[in-house]
């Protein structure tokens, strides 16, 4: 009897230990969006091979995305700056690796737009070099599923090199539905090729490769500017990278010793667009000592309200977050690159 009791206690202890491990370490199907970092853009930008060493900082801001354990889910309850997302809502049908791969594309696209907007504002020459089409998604019935990956850049088909995604699509449209096609593409920096058949495209009468694609370009100017954002993904650093590049190519001291943070997408024409998680970015910027925070003042149209009746624009969300954490950081609304530059030059 004593042996059985001891064994039961041991088994009970092991079971409890396993439950504790699962509570703290078992991944769930949920992700947490939390305050990320506020980092100097100067470390990622070079103009004419040189980094900006002047006093002050222009800070890009990020959110953190982490897969939640049961412990983290419980811990986040009641925290105004930690948001729980089901995996499907955050990533859709993409795998985790595909999701972050697409975020890397969005960052590359943002840096290209930043260089174009900055050089245009500084009245400096620049050009866009077309690299090919970037694979954003593969249909389940695509014959190239498993041969191509999200993030690959296709630069020729059947030996034909094209100068835009439109040319690429028009070429495929003219192919016979039974045609075999050979694609040359770049995968993780390595040249590869794959051969496959066309498939019927959903909700159309056409045949194609069964991929979603977008132009992959690189912007360059004189003097040469480069932005290497490392592992940071997404388009939201566009505005802050534009300010950094502009300050260097135009030889303008926008910082004047200040620590300036912000967020927002950037279009080549200088329009600033909204992003997600701005409340978390306000927290990150304030913790890093920023005194100014640029927030997109995106218009709330009837179409947006129809789609999301509770939509609040980025600027008002940022103001609300700043008030909640009682920061002295000034929240500045911006619609364009000029708005940000004019504010800093006051």
The residues assigned a catalytic role are 236, 281
The Cα 141–Cα 88 span in angstroms is 21
């Amino acid at each position: 009897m004593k042996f059985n009791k001891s064994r039961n206690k041991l088994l009970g202890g092991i079971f409890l230990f396993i439950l504790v491990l699962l509570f703290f370490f078992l991944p769930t199907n949920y992700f947490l969006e939390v305050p990320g970092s506020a980092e100097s853009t100067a470390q990622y930008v070079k103009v004419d091979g040189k980094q900006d060493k002047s006093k002050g900082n222009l800070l890009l801001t990020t959110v953190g995305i982490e897969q939640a354990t049961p412990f983290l889910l419980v811990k986040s309850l009641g925290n105004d700056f930690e948001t729980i997302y089901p995996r499907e809502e955050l990533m859709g049908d993409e795998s985790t690796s595909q999701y972050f791969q697409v975020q890397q594309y969005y960052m590359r696209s943002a840096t290209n737009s930043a260089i174009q907007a900055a050089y245009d504002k500084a009245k400096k020459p620049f050009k866009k070099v077309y690299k090919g089409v970037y694979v954003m998604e593969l249909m389940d019935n695509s014959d190239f599923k498993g041969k191509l990956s999200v993030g690959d850049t296709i630069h020729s088909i059947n030996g034909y090199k094209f100068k835009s995604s439109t040319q690429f699509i028009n070429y495929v449209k003219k192919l016979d539905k039974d045609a075999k096609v050979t694609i040359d593409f770049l995968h993780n920096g390595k040249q590869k090729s794959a051969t496959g058949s066309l498939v019927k495209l959903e909700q159309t009468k056409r045949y194609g490769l069964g991929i979603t694609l977008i132009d992959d370009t690189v912007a360059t100017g004189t003097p040469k500017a480069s932005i290497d954002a490392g592992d940071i993904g997404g388009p939201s650093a566009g505005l802050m990278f534009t300010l950094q590049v502009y300050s260097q190519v135009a030889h303008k001291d926008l910082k004047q010793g200040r620590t300036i943070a912000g967020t927002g997408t950037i279009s080549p024409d200088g329009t600033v667009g909204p992003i997600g998680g701005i409340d978390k970015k306000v927290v990150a910027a304030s913790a890093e000592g920023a005194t100014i925070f640029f927030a997109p003042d995106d218009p709330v149209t009837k179409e947006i309200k129809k789609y999301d009746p509770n939509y609040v624009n980025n600027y008002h969300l940022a103001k609300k977050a700043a008030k909640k954490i009682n920061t002295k950081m000034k929240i500045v609304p911006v619609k364009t690159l000029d708005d940000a530059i004019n504010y800093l030059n006051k």
